[in-house]
Every structure is written in C-alpha cells, then in structure tokens.
Amino acid sequence: MAAREMTYAEALREALREEMARDERVIIMGEDVKINVWTVTRDLHKEFGDRVINCPLSESGFSGAGVGAALTGMRPVVEIMYHDFTLYAADSIANQAAKYRYMCGGGDFKVPIVFRVAGGGSSGGSGCHHGQSLEATFIHFPGLKVIFPSNPYDAKGLLKTAIRDNNPVVFFEHKLCYPIKGAVPAGDYTVPIGKAEVKREGKDVTIVSYAYILHKALKAADQLAEEGIEAEVIDLRTLRPVDTECILKSVQKTSKLVTAEEGTKMGGVGAEIAAIVAEEGLQYLDAPIKRVAAAEWIIASSAYADQMGIPQVEDIARAVKELF
C-alpha cells in the first residue's frame, strides 16, 4: 500500500474514518467533536451523521455514558479534550470502565471503549489546567490499557487496534505531536498493543521514552553520537502493558538506562520502567538508572515559562553523560 506523508492528527482522523466505515458500532462522543479544536474528528459527522455526538460539557457524564453504550453493543471512541480533564472523568474511566467486566464476573460483560485524551506537556499560555501529562496516573489501573504514540504511523495503527480491542483503552495524544508529519500507509494496517519499538540502535546506553519527548531523545542521541556515545532509543508506544522484554533486551546490551518523560518524576512512567529493570535486570547495569522528568512543579501557565520545567534535549543528553 502506498504511504503518504500526513500529520499525526490526520493519521488519527484516518483511523477513525476507516474504523467507522468498517464497523457501524463505532461512534464518536465528546465535546465539540463535529468541528473539534484538534481537527481529529472534524467533519466526520458529514459522513457518519448521528454516530458523531457532540456532548454537553460533562466529562464524567459522557465518559460514563460511553461505558453504558460499550456494555450494550456499541464501540464508543470518547474524546476528552485535555489530560487535565480526565480527572473529572476519572471515576468513569478507572472505577467503572476498568472494573465493570471483572466485578460482573466476566462472561458477556465487555467494555470496548477508547478514551482519546489530548494534551501533554505544554500549556502554551492556556494555564496549568490545560498542560499536564497525566499518563502515569492511568497506568496504575488494572483493567485499562494505556497507549501514547509518538508518530503518525503508530497513531493510526494503534488507534485502530484500540478500537477493535474488547477492553477499555486510554489513548493519549500529544498536542505538540498533532502537526508532526510522517509516512502513513493508505488503507488498513494495525500496530499491536504492548509492543515497544527500537527507534535508534546503539550499544552504549538505553533511553526509554515515548510520545513527544521521544523526538527530543532522538535529537539528544544524535548529539551524543557526535561525542562518541551511541544511544539506543526505545519508543514504548504502549504504557500498559509495558514491553518489558524489549527494554531488558536493550539494557542487557547497553548496561545503562535513562528514561525520559514529560510528566513529573515521582510515581511516573520512568519510575515504573526503572523498577522493572531493577527487579529483572539489575545484573545488566553498570551505572545507576537516570530518570529525566518534569520538575516537581505546577506546569507554568504562560507561553514564556511553560517549557522551563519540562525536560529538553540538553537535559536528556546531560543525564546520559553523567553515566559515563
């Protein structure tokens, strides 16, 4: 199949369009999903009519309604406009969607729902209620799968897999990734949940990252190469379940681990990766693990300050060099 250049936002939209055409049970729910600030669902109602539902401003309510629809034969894709707003919807996602099947004894109780959540580390002047990275919050809940793609190809393939999965999936999207372009095949393909990808091979250190900051990690790796350090960069793609095998295999080769994320450090994704390596691969390491994460801060509200606490390319490069 021919691959075209398209943005991450366009790739997501294409996944939604194809899945809606393929399966009439797929519906879209959320705030302003017809015009859509992110453009991801824009104009799909012109093709799919009532299956694209503009919901009232009630994240808990429409997320819960999505659960009810998913239980009884639909496959809703619910958009929550920002990571920050997931906290309003947290009960519907983590107490209801995640637990419903189990608490009802399994069997025919299934919750095939995708919560698409935009956001990620930048407020761009919109304030600290529009700029957090909360993916780590949701990896804590058994019953959920959590995805956070970094590029257009994965965005399309993983969203399709998520929609076809019979479990609730929290699908994070990074707003700074939306304009990133990449090659995306036309037509159907999927990317498996739970598989990381080695984006750059190297022998000296493993950098585990995902989503937008993965691109910074790749730049840091290029800079490090000029100084003679060959970093292997892993894109997690799925945060729950984590591809432990891919990480351990790499650490076995490189003997050094650095994690890079935009969320805050304590209880973060990097903490989980570090713990996995400490438990299952400590013998491979010849240096301490380094976690690169946001400052323990409230993300600054102004466009001037919002990147000051978020790790940049040089922060990742510096963390790596500290291990040598």
Q: What residues are labeled active site?
A: 130
Q: Which of 213, 215, 284, 295 is nearest to 244 (CA)?
A: 284
Cβ at position 94, least distance to other proteins in Å: 10
**Residue 293, SS3?**
strand
Interface residue list for other proteins (CB under 8 A): 27, 50-51, 53, 55-56, 58, 60-74, 76, 91-92, 95-96, 100-111, 142-143, 145, 166-167
According to DSSP, the residues that pair with 184 across neighbouring strands are 4
* Degrees, nearest 5: CA angle 37-146-122: 45
What is the smallest separation between the CB atom of 27 and other proteins, expressed in angstroms?
Answer: 7
Q: From start to end of the chain, where are the E strands?
A: 3-7, 26-30, 52-54, 75-80, 114-119, 145-147, 169-174, 181-185, 197-200, 205-209, 231-235, 238-240, 257-264, 290-294
* Contacts (Cβ under 8 Å, ≥6 apart) of 25: 73, 74, 75
| Contact between residue 237 and residue 195 where contact means Cβ atoms under 8 Å apart | yes
DSSP 25: T
Please tell me the distance from the alpha carbon of residue 26 to that of residue 76, in angstroms, as a whole number.
6
Cα separation of 203 and 295, whole Å?
A: 29
DSSP label at residue 40: S
Give residue 173's identity as a one-letter amino acid code: E
User: Residue 295 in 3-state DSSP?
Assistant: coil
